Structures are given as C-alpha cells and as structure tokens.
Amino acid sequence: MVKPEVIKVIDYTVDVAVIGGGPAGLAAAVSAHEHGAKSVVVIDRNSWLGGILPQCIHDGFGVEETGTSMTGPEYAEMYIEMAEKQGIDIMKETMVLQFDKKREITAVNKKGLHKIKASAIVLAMGCREKTRWNVMISGDRPSGIYTAGVAQAFINLYNIMPGKNVIILGSGDVGLIMARRLKFEGANVLGVVEILPYASGLPRNVVQCLEDYDIPLFLNHTVTCIDGKERLEQVTIAQVDGEMNIISGTEKKIECDTLLLSLGLIPENELANNIGIEIDNITGGPTVNQYLETTLSGVFACGNCLQVYDTVDVLSADAENAGRSAAKNSAIQKKDKKIIAKIVPGKGIRYVVPQIISEPGKVHLTLRVEKPGESSVLHMVAGDKEILKKRLAWVNPANMIGVDVDIPHEVLTSTQNLEVILVDR
C-alpha cells in the first residue's frame, strides 16, 4: 500500500492582505502599495475581480470621482488595471475561511489550503442582501422568490431569466434598476412596492427606470403574504399607516410568478465576528478608529463591510484610507493604540463612522441622520466645547453625509466622549 503523502499547507508572508476584491478591496490594495507596502495580496472567492460591479451593467458609477459616468464593469476595470500595473498579487476563486489574532489567514482554493501571515489585514468583504425572513413575510415557500442582486446576477452574468410576471419589493436603486432590466428582457413588471412614503432610490432612477416604462410604484405599501405551493402564484400587498402598521381592508392580491426582494444590505462580517472584533450594532460593520482600524490591532475595514455606502465613489475614497493605514501599520508595527475618545451619535444622528478617535488631528467622518429634514446644523461637541458646526441645506437618511473635522489635542485630554448631534435651524 502506498503511504499517504502528507500534504503541507501552502505558506506565505505578506505586508498587507486584503480580503475581498471588490472596488473597496482593490482601492485599498492599490493605496497600500502606493504607501509603501511591498507585498500586497488581494483574495477573492469569485472567479473575477470587482465584486458586485461586473453584474451592474447600467451606468452611473464614478461620477463624483472622475466626472464621467461609467458602467459597473468599466469602473471595476479602472481599479483592476491599477492593481495589475502595480504588480499586486491576486488570488481568485479563493475563499478566506478564517483568520486569527496573529493575523494568519486560512484560505482555500483548488490548489489547496493556504496560510497567509500578514502584517496587516484589510477587510473588504462587501455585504449580502436581506432575505424574506429579515422582514418576516409570511405565506408559502414557493420558487420564484429572489433577492434583486441574485436575479441581477442570473440575468447579467448567466443569461438566465428568473421570471416573467414580476413584483418588486423595495424601491432602493437595485430594485429600480432591476425593474427596468427585466422590462428590457421582456418581462412584465407589475409594480414596485415600497413601505416608505417615498422611493428610497435616487430620484433619477425613479424617472428613468419606472416612470419612463409606466411601471407603477406603490408607496406606503408592503407585501403581506406569498401564495404558491410550487412556483409563486400571487402576492398580497397592503397599505401601511404612518407607523408602518398594515391597514386592514386595503389588501390586494396580485397574480405573479416572481417576487424580487430589494430590502437592503447586511455587511458581511462573519470573519470579523468569529474572532471577536467588535461590531457596531447600527452599521453592522466593525467598530473602527479614524484609520479604519478595527478593535483588533492591525486589522482594518472598508467598503460595504464597514458600512453600506450609497455610491462607489465615496466608498473607494474611504477604502484608500484603510489601505494607507494598513501600509503604515505594517511598516512600523507599533504597539497597541489606546482608545482616546468615542464618537457618540446624539440627537437626530443614526450613526457615525469612525466610532473611535485614537489620535488628535484631521478626521473624516461619515454619518447618517435619523429622518429626513430641511435645513439643519450638524454639531460635534466635547463636553462644553464645540469642535464642529456645519450647516446642511437638507438631510435624508438615504444620503450619507461626509464631513472633515479637526480634533485638537486638548479636547482629547479632557473628555472621553465626542457627541454628534443634528439641530433644526
């Protein structure tokens, strides 16, 4: 009998390992390389780079960043080229299974099991879509219920038609874009159902994806029941009141074979969660300081796994920060930083990223407000000292706000909490 050969796992050592090769991971890798990291590797489980972008064949990407509107694949290509030019290592079709506190990554691909020791890790795993059960839609469990992103992948990447008579729940941009896409493919889009009193996607998408194609938008409505023992046969939609309770008597049954769910995204953080990196309950992403470093030293986070961004432009800019910090971290290997102050979301504010300030100086904040409003003022206060005051013409939870603030040294010596609040004008 042949003695079984003992197979060794394949070992590497790198300065910066980036988990996820979407726009965030690529931007971070490019930036890490530009800031001095010698060996950078990007690991992605897909057979392609660019994350979710290759399936987003509509345009509207990169407007803020480059001034021109690109399609998703074009935008991704821009970063893929940069990464290739810099000689960044790419591992495709490689799934990261875990990493430990010493920053040793275990990943698997068709060549075998890999152990990658990294001086710094950048998390850029993106997010996954909410399912029917995140919003608890009761009824049967037939085929024909897809999340919008999955349906988009089937149509745009695999040329497979998921449905013919379609209802879309959720009016975020993905839902709106899918309404138009399905129409192009000859499907009958019966309507987009939105529980809020307004569409949650961009106004231009409401016009270009729904109005131009006479697709009805049911505001203040939701899907209350799903019928179909095998394939979907019908859904029930109903009106909701100001508290989002269903108004009985308003139920309407609509025959359809497909329900697309565009219910929002959940940052993908199993890897971080598994080793005890602190996760912010509101953002769903890791708690980070201004260098986008998580509560585990040497591990940084960016992109949609840090917080769900509105547009890819802002996301890429933040991801560069993570890449730069990772490069510096790997070069200096400094000791554990002390938490100096926490940023606390106060009145009118849903969340602020970063959540922690560990050094004085210039900090870029991204935040979301709690509800839509007209002109208001954003404040950051430390005890009785005001460090930021910014007027805003209008605010909306759907639009992320970015502000720069300079946090003086003396503030950090006197307080532990920096509160951000929104005041009506």
Partner 1 sequence: MKNFQVAIIGGGVIGSAIARELSMFKLDVAVFEMGSDVASGASKANSGVVHSGINSPTSSLKARFCVEGNKMFQSLANELDFPLQWVGKYIIAKNEEEVRDLEHLKKVGMNNNVPGLEIKNRSEVKKKEPNVSCFKALWIPTAGITLPYQFTIALAENAAENNVVFFLETKITDLKKQKNLFLIKTNKGDFQAGVVVNAAGLNCREVVSMMEEPDFQVYPCRGEYLVLDKNYSSLINSMIYPVPVKGSGVLGVHITPTIEGNILLGPSAEFIGDPYDKRTTNETMNTLFLEARGIIPSLPDKAVINAYSGIRCKLASPESGGWADYRIEESKNMPGFINLLGIESPGLTAAPAIAKEIIKMISHLIELNKKNSFKSRRHRRKRFSEMSAEEQSNLIKKDEKWGRIVCRCEHVTEAEVIEALSNPLEARVLSSVKYRCRAGMGRCQGGFCTQHIVRIMEEHFNMDVADMRLKSPNSNLFYGKTRGNQSD
Ligand X SMILES: Cc1cc2nc3c(=O)[nH]c(=O)nc-3n(C[C@H](O)[C@H](O)[C@H](O)COP(=O)(O)OP(=O)(O)OC[C@H]3O[C@@H](n4cnc5c(N)ncnc54)[C@H](O)[C@@H]3O)c2cc1C
Shortest Å, Cβ 305 to ligand X = 6
Angle, to 10 degrees, between the axis of helix 23-34 and the axis of helix 312-332?
40
CA distance 317 to 306: 13
Say how many residues touch partner 1, by CB under 8 A.
Answer: 56
State how far the alpha carbon of 33 is from the alpha carbons of 25, 93, 174, 317, in Å. Answer: 12, 22, 33, 15
Identify the residue among 93, 313, 359, 370 touching partner 1 (CB under 8 A). 93
- Non-local (6+) Cβ contacts of 107 within 8 A are 43, 91, 94, 95, 96, 97, 113, 114, 116
Q: Which of residues 307-336 bind partner 1 (CB under 8 A)?
A: none
Q: Which of residues 107-166 bind partner 1 (CB under 8 A)?
A: 108-113, 128-129, 131-134, 136, 138-144, 147, 149-150, 153-155, 157-164
Residue 63, amino acid: V
Residue 351 has a CB neighbour count (10 Å cut-off) of 21
Nearer to partner 1, 34 or 227 (CB): 227
Indicate which of ligand X, partner 1, none lies near residue 377 (CB less than 5 to 8 Å, by partner kind): none
376, containing H or E segment: strand 376-382
Q: x/- string (CB under 8 A) for partner 1, residues 380-399? A: --------------------
Nearer to partner 1, 204 or 231 (CB): 231
Q: Tell which residue, 370, 378, 400, has the closest CA to residue 308.
A: 400
Tokens of 147: 């999340």
Shortest Å, Cβ 175 to ligand X = 9
Nearer to partner 1, 103 or 114 (CB): 114
Tokens of 4: 């079984």
Indicate which of ligand X, partner 1, none lies near residue 150 (CB less than 5 to 8 Å, by partner kind): partner 1
Q: How many residues does the chain have?
A: 425
Indicate which of ligand X, partner 1, none lies near residue 112 (CB less than 5 to 8 Å, by partner kind): partner 1
Beta strand 10-19 pairing with 112-123: parallel
> What residues make contact with ligand X under the rule CB under 6 A?
19-25, 43-46, 51-53, 56, 60-61, 95-96, 124-126, 149, 152, 173-174, 177, 268, 271, 303-304, 309, 311-313, 315
Interaction between residue 267 and partner 1 (CB under 8 A): no
Shortest Å, Cβ 9 to partner 1 = 6
Nearer to ligand X, 152 or 289 (CB): 152
Shortest Å, Cβ 82 to ligand X = 14
Nearer to partner 1, 105 or 363 (CB): 105
Indicate which of partner 1, ligand X, none lies near residue 285 (CB less than 5 to 8 Å, by partner kind): none
Across the strands, what pairs with 105?
A: 99, 116
State how far the alpha carbon of 319 is from the alpha carbons of 23, 122, 304, in Å. Answer: 8, 9, 10
Cα 420 versus chain centre, distance:
23
Identify the residue among 57, 63, 97, 387 touching partner 1 (CB under 8 A). 97
Indicate which of partner 1, ligand X, none lies near residue 53 (CB less than 5 to 8 Å, by partner kind): ligand X
Shortest Å, Cβ 109 to partner 1 = 5
Residue 261, amino acid: L
Shortest Å, Cβ 112 to partner 1 = 5
CA distance 31 to 406: 23
Beta carbons of 48 and 329 less than 8 angstroms apart: no
Nearer to partner 1, 286 or 348 (CB): 286
Indicate which of ligand X, partner 1, none lies near residue 375 (CB less than 5 to 8 Å, by partner kind): none
Burial of 243 (0-12, 13-18, 19+ CB in 10 A): exposed
Q: Which of residues 25-54 bind partner 1 (CB under 8 A)?
A: 45
Across the strands, what pairs with 91?
A: 43
Residue 67, amino acid: G
Q: Which of residues 162-201 bind partner 1 (CB under 8 A)?
A: 162-164, 185-186
3-class secondary structure, 77: helix
Q: x/- string (CB under 8 A) for partner 1, residues 222-251? A: --xxxx-xxx--------------------
Q: What angle do CA 144, 148, 150 make, to 5 degrees?
A: 75
Across the strands, what pairs with 371?
A: none
Nearer to ligand X, 61 or 351 (CB): 61
Q: Which residues bind partner 1 (CB under 8 A)?
A: 4-9, 45, 93, 95, 97, 106, 108-113, 128-129, 131-134, 136, 138-144, 147, 149-150, 153-155, 157-164, 185-186, 224-227, 229-231, 270, 273
